[in-house]
Amino acid sequence: MSLVHYQPWSTLRNFQRDVDHLIGHQDAARDLWVPAVDILELADRFELVIDVPGVDPSKLQITSENGELAICGERGAEPLDDVKLRRIERARGSFNRRFQMPDTADIENIEANANNGVLTISVPKKAQLQPRRIDIKVS
């Protein structure tokens, strides 16, 4: 017996794509793109690693407000003059991902780097206050 990883959202996206295809929508792949995100917790920071191939880093927007980190962007289609499209499988369109950051995240010092279609957002952790011993004075 083998285990199969169930992915309900991919099933829903596939169903939507098939329905769009049946009713004749040419842009069935549009707005179905959600970039994959890995969230890592290291000793001193959190890192979000986001696959955004084909997205110009200047078209990405990262904001933080009330402990929430938002990443927005858009991947458009390349201009194709005098070309008849036979098949479109690469999803395109805009995306908006939101992540609630833990209280230990220092959202004032977030850094972001883009390299080869991968966006890495580094969120440092706040310095932890260490317990200290309080001396008792004898009177």
Task: Tell me the per-residue pLDDT of 2-45, one tens digit each, with 9 for 90 and over.
Answer: 555 566 666 666 677 676 666 655 544 445 688 999 999 999 99
Chain position carrying tokens 């040419």 = 26
Question: pLDDT of 69-94, one tens digit each?
Answer: 999 999 876 666 788 877 877 888 88
How many angstroms separate the CA atoms of 41 and 122, rounded? 10
Same domain, 18 and 39: no
Q: 93: closest CA among 48, 31, 45, 26?
A: 31
Give the count of domains, the chain: 2
Same domain, 4 and 47: no
* Residue 101 domain boundaries: 33-79+90-127
